[in-house]
Amino acid sequence: MRLSVLLVLAPLFAQGQIEVYTVGPTGAETPAPVLLELGTVPTGDLLDTRFRLRNTGAATVTLQVLRISGPGFSLQGNPTGPQTMTPNFNIDFRVRFQPTTTGVHNAFLTINDRMIVVRGDSPGGLVLGVEREGVFERVTNERPVDFGRIEIGSARVLRFLLRNESGAGITVSRIRLTGIFEGPLDLRLPAEIASGAAAAFGVRFAPDRSLVYHGTLEVDGRVIQIEGLAIDAPLPSADLLFGNAGSGQQATLRILFKAPARNRGIATLKMTFQPTAGTQDDPSAVLLPESRRETNLTVQAGETGRDVTFQTGTTAARIRFRLEESGRLLGESALIEIPAAPARMSSVRASRQAGAIEVLVSGFDNARTVSEALFTFHDRNGQPIGSEIRAQVQDVFASFFRDSALGGLFQLRAVFPVTGDTAQITGVQVELRNSAGPARSERVAF
């Protein structure tokens, strides 16, 4: 009797199959071998390799295990916990090689019950660093070298060091910079660096616009990202000057910068107004032409100053100006005193009515204390008709100003009954008296 045996080899995943690929920069897939060489990287730098898992079977399969073990290796972007994979379903992740010591490093990448050996090399040799305040700071490709914040028009040079930690001499043939960064400074290439020795070179950052700048520093094929932030230089401090000013005027504030502006900037001019006659504010005290208490001034590069017009208002007050840039004080004026003054009449008009004369007086009283009004009427020959007419108006004005939100502005209407022919009255002159003294109008004909 002859016995025969039929042996059949079945695949490990009878219904579902997870295949492992590496993915290149262009997206091309390559099946991962049992031993995968990741490449060479300086100590401290990192090298990421993209992997892709795909269920190439006809049934659903579960990814139960995905881990890597070995010093200097880690997984990035990998799923946590079991992952159900339907047919043709992909899972991408990265293996990061970031050695902390020199030499050849091995790790085991486990996918369920499949294992791949990954290998990376850190041969040592040149160590790149940057000097900050006398301290050597090692540079890697994990994060950019930061030149920090500097003002437009200025420059900053960082000093880089190449230190040879190998047992033999090393030649540096090429150092190249991209972006706005300039260098290498003070190093002639090719440069021979003996074992244990170091070579230094500078990189200059001199921006001309406010911007975040990015570039690269390449040393014989090794690429490091570099960056710096350029900010506008602050506007210079300023003197805020003015001449004498009274109420109801357009006055000039002169801004004189203590140095030419180094670049374009925005300054904010603020006007504070404190009335001394009553408690009401005066809306007519403003900066021109916007008629506001605060305005932005665009300062151009090279500018040394300018004049700003403001309206003093119609109320005795104290005025002060502040010039700021983003909350930083550039200058402050002395206190401008707008003293109390006799009332000012901008308009006096008179008209005849049946048996009466009406006089309309417009103006302002910055002291808000008009107490007496005097009216003198004239005949056709310009001679006064009788005695001046006095009116005690203190209570009327006090009541008006108490409720007024228009500063010292007023309009007074006075009606005078006339017995006889009103045509004989052809002119009037008005005098108003307040705490600062009298004010007399010109004779007004009507």
* Residue 218: DSSP 8-state: E
Tokens matching residue 100: 């902390």
Cα 425 to Cα 26, 79, 235: the distances in Å are: 103, 103, 65
The count of residues in the chain is: 446
Alpha-carbon torsion angle 141, 144, 145, 150, nearest 10: 170
pLDDT averaged over every residue in the chain: 91
* pLDDT for the residue 197: 94
Residues of the chain with pLDDT below 50 are 1-15
DSSP letter at 10?
A: P
Written as one string, the DSSP assignment of 239-307 is EEEE----TT-EEEEEEEESS--SS-EEEEEEEEEEESSSS---TTEEETTTTBSEEEEEEPTT--EEE
Domains present along the chain, CATH in parentheses: 18-122 (2.60.40.10), 126-231 (2.60.40.10), 238-338 (2.60.40), 344-445 (2.60.40.2150)
pLDDT at 227: 98
Give the number of other Cβ atoms within 10 Å of residue 186's Cβ: 11
Distance from the Cα of residue 343 to its chain's centroid: 48
What is the C-alpha separation between 108 and 155, in angstroms, rounded? 49
Alpha-carbon distance of 178 to 205, in angstroms, equals: 11
Q: Dihedral sign for Cα 419, 421, 423, 429, please.
A: negative
- If 0-12 CB within 10 Å is exposed, 13-18 middle and 19+ buried, where does residue 191 land? middle
Cis peptide before 25 (omega within 30 of 0): no
What is the C-alpha separation between 323 and 238, in angstroms, rounded? Answer: 8
Cα 193 from Cα 170, distance rounded (Å): 5
Percent of the chain with pLDDT over 70: 96
Helix (H) or strand (E) segment spanning residue 427:
strand 427-434
> Closest by alpha carbon to 415, among 362, 359, 377?
359
Number of other CB atoms surrounding residue 427 within 10 Å: 19
Rounded Cα–Cα distance for residues 288 and 266 (Å): 17
Do 20 and 103 form a contact (C-beta atoms < 8 A)?
no
* Tens digits of residue pLDDT in 140-191: 999 999 999 999 889 999 999 999 988 899 999 999 999 999 999 999 999 9
Q: What is the dihedral of CA 128, 131, 136, 142, to 10 degrees?
A: -50
Query: What is the tens place of the pLDDT at every residue in 77-98?
Result: 999 889 999 999 999 999 999 9
Name every residue whose Cβ is closer than 8 Å to that of residue 333 and which is 6 or more positions away in sequence. 240, 241, 242, 253, 320, 321, 322
State how far the alpha carbon of 246 is from the alpha carbons of 249, 272, 405, in Å.
6, 16, 20
Q: What is the pLDDT of residue 110?
A: 96
Are 227 and 213 contacting, i.e. CB atoms less than 8 angstroms apart? yes
Q: Are strands 145-151 and 222-231 parallel, antiparallel or unpaired?
A: parallel
Q: 3-state class of 424 per DSSP?
A: helix
- On whether the CB atoms of residues 224 and 145 are closer than 8 A, the answer is yes
